[in-house]
């Protein structure tokens, strides 16, 4: 595969990008967070043979898994490159393992701020070239059927995993750092922000057509904490990516911020410059629209647990949701990632109902 060939097939389905940019759409676009994931038997087959991060690191496998949900579900209007937010800590020199049934594990998490200096910022993005290659390969293989989304974890969420050493219910170690080492926290968040900006620009150079930034741990933050340790960096990421794309004479791409549990800070999020704000299922669509105004696209937000209901119930809930958001500046999605035991037919019910709702 020649990864320098960026002559991609022309995009045939522009709904996602149109909605993100506030243009009219014929139907509400729909995709699902974690749509390439464990609920798909064909994904499980790949995972039975390959370690999680090996799938991420092998462009052919990452591409194959990215395309799987599109083969099964005709109504999907986007694909998201198969990878993980934790490839950034890996590129900084940390070890991250994916333990089945447990999730990500860092055998040696950060235990003291002095260890920030040991993170290898230089060359970090070049160690993520495989993500760019997976994106380029997928753009060719997808044949312009739908756009390809690139993504990253946001600085606070990544920092949390690096300090906790994995997922955490309480984030007590991270909160201890916030109290004890406020200066070092900002040094680490700034380092992550610099790497993230270059990483996202590399993804666009490789063919990503929209970028989503996951602040998945925002549910641990108060509004005040969000405005101090999350929002400034999210804002810098948006303006930093725009600036670098301009310098490199690359086309701008719309960007989405998804701060799970950040419903208390939608007004702050609306000022960060992103074209789209993702909502979790706790946020009311009508209230959200009032807060963010008319010039931002909203994405979301069916409760992933609703996909355990019957197809008829799913259809009804989905139609209600789409009607509340309306057709203008709206991208349908779940309020968080699809869960592993979700029945396959639930995705059919959800995606079809979005297209039939309005």
User: By C-beta, is 45 or 74 nearer to ligand CP3?
Assistant: 45
Sort residue 251 into left (φ over 0), alpha (ψ -120 to 50) or beta.
Answer: beta
User: By C-beta, is 37 or 289 nearer to ligand CP3?
Assistant: 37
Give Cα separations from 323 to 285, 286, 328, 353 (angstroms).
Answer: 10, 10, 11, 11
Q: State how beta strands 97-99 and 210-215 pair.
A: unpaired
Task: Give just the sign of the alpha carbon dihedral 309, 310, 316, 321.
Answer: positive
* Residue 84 designated active-site: yes
Determine if 62 is a binding residue for ligand CP3 (CB under 6 A).
no
Of 30, 36, 125, 134, the one binding ligand CP3 by CB under 6 A: 36
Q: Which of 18, 39, 47, 315 is the catalytic position? A: 47
* Residue 161 designated active-site: yes
Determine if 216 is a binding residue for ligand CP3 (CB under 6 A).
yes
Residue 285 near residue 321, CB atoms below 8 Å: yes
Determine if 178 is a binding residue for ligand CP3 (CB under 6 A).
no
**Strand partners for 212:** 151, 256
Which residues lie closer than 8 Å to 201 by C-beta, 6 or more apart?
A: 241, 244, 245, 248, 250
* Residue 284 designated active-site: no
Residues 218-237 that bind ligand CP3 (CB under 6 A): none
* Residue 34 designated active-site: yes
DSSP letters along 10-26, please? PPS--HHHHHHTT---S
Determine if 131 is a binding residue for ligand CP3 (CB under 6 A).
no
Q: Which of 39, 57, 77, 161 is the catalytic position? A: 161
* Binding-site string for ligand CP3 from residue 14 to residue 33, where x marks contact by CB under 6 A and - marks none: -------------------x
User: Whole-angstrom Cα distance, residue 271 to residue 264?
Assistant: 14
Determine if 160 is a binding residue for ligand CP3 (CB under 6 A).
no
Kindly provide the b/e burial profile for residues 317-340, where b requires at least 16 CB atoms within 10 angstroms of the residue's own CB. bbeebbeebeeebbbbbbbbbbee
Determine if 48 is a binding residue for ligand CP3 (CB under 6 A).
no
Determine if 273 is a binding residue for ligand CP3 (CB under 6 A).
no
Residues that bind ligand CP3 (CB under 6 A): 33-38, 47, 52, 80, 82, 84-86, 98, 100, 103-104, 151, 167, 214, 216, 260, 337
Instruction: List active site positions.
Output: 34, 38, 47, 84, 161
């Amino acid at each position: 595969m020649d990864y320098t060939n960026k002559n991609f097939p022309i995009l045939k389905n522009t709904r996602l990008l149109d909605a993100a940019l506030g243009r009219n759409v014929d139907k509400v676009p729909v995709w699902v967070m974690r749509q390439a994931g464990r609920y798909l038997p064909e994904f499980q087959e790949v995972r039975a043979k390959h370690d999680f991060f090996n799938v991420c690191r092998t462009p052919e496998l990452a591409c194959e898994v990215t395309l799987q949900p599109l083969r099964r579900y005709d109504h999907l209007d986007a694909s998201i490159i198969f990878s993980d937010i934790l490839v950034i800590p890996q590129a900084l020199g940390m070890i991250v393992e994916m333990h089945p049934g447990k999730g990500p594990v860092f055998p040696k998490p950060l235990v003291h701020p002095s260890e920030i200096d040991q993170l290898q910022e230089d060359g970090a993005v070049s160690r993520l070239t495989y993500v760019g290659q997976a994106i380029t390969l997928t753009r060719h293989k997808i044949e312009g059927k739908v756009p390809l989304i690139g993504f990253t974890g946001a600085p606070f969420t990544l920092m949390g995993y690096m300090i906790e050493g994995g997922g955490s219910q309480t984030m007590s170690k991270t909160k201890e750092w916030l109290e004890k080492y406020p200066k070092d926290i900002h040094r680490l968040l700034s380092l992550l922000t610099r790497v993230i900006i270059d990483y996202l620009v590399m993804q666009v150079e490789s063919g990503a057509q929209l970028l989503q930034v996951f602040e998945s741990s925002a549910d641990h933050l108060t509004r005040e904490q969000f405005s101090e340790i999350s929002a400034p960096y999210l804002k810098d990421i948006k303006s930093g990516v725009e600036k670098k794309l301009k310098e490199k004479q690359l086309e701008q791409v719309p960007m989405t911020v998804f701060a799970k549990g950040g419903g208390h800070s939608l007004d702050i999020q609306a000022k960060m410059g992103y074209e789209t704000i993702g909502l979790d299922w706790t946020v009311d669509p009508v209230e959200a629209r009032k807060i963010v105004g008319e010039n931002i696209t909203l994405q979301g937000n069916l409760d992933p647990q609703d996909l355990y209901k019957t197809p008829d119930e799913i259809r009804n809930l989905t139609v209600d949701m789409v009607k509340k958001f309306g057709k203008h500046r709206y991208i349908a999605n779940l309020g968080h990632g699809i869960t592993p035991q979700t029945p396959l037919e639930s995705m059919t019910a959800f995606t079809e109902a979005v297209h039939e709702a309005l």
